[in-house]
A and B are shown apart, each in its own frame.
Chain A
């Protein structure tokens, strides 16, 4: 079965609001990564957080990692219509294992 599972499956918000997506995984990891996929396109790497890190920031993105709960969250602040995409977490033990994704829709 998939290692990562994102929650919620779909999220709709207004521009300017924050979007929070969660990812849970099952086994121990070396690191966890978040990717974005625009409709019909390839994946774009957003951020990597290592297993010994608890929080990481990159621009409007904030990622947390709780290895005791085997979960991670991705927060997008001040969302824009251009953030509309699917967001996947991927965990790495010996290979990347992707979750099923959260489909984010940001309305202008």
Chain B
């Protein structure tokens, strides 16, 4: 049973480009969470999604960031017009229905903005 998968593992973008981060949850998990981790800091919640629905996006920056979890395919975190301050590790976690607190984390995507 594969764990949470994220790709790419490393992503380098120049300022102004778009970054797309993908997350495939564990089999049977319908809840996906995105977190951002700046160097030497803990994880900060960004957004919580179920299939085709955004449940909680209270941690998402107001501009340039969006997330989706379509009926088919992985969840996507999209960052438009990236800036240097977006450089961070982005982690995805998934959980089964009705067990929201039991989150399993992916290996993360390290975004570097030049």
Contact = CB atoms under 8 A, between A and B. Distances in A.
Q: Do chains A and B interact in one complex?
A: yes
Interface of A: 2, 4, 30-31, 33, 35, 40-45, 48, 88, 90, 92, 94-101
Contacts of B110: 40
Most interface-central of A42, A97, A100 (chain B CB within 10 A): A42
Interface stretch (B37-45, B65-73, B74-82): B37-45
Contacts of B102: 45, 48
Contacts of A41: 107-108
Nearest to A33: B101
Interface of B: 4, 33, 35, 40-45, 48, 56, 58, 91, 93, 101-108, 110
B107 A42 contact: yes
Contact of A96 (B103, B106, B107, B108): B103
Given A42-B105, A45-B103, A96 B45 contact: yes
30 contacts: A2-B42, A4-B42, A30-B101, A31-B101, A33-B101, A35-B105, A40-B110, A41-B107, A41-B108, A42-B91, A42-B105, A43-B43, A43-B91, A43-B105, A45-B104, A45-B105, A88-B42, A88-B43, A90-B43, A95-B33, A95-B56, A96-B33, A97-B45, A98-B42, A98-B44, A98-B45, A99-B42, A100-B41, A101-B41, A101-B42
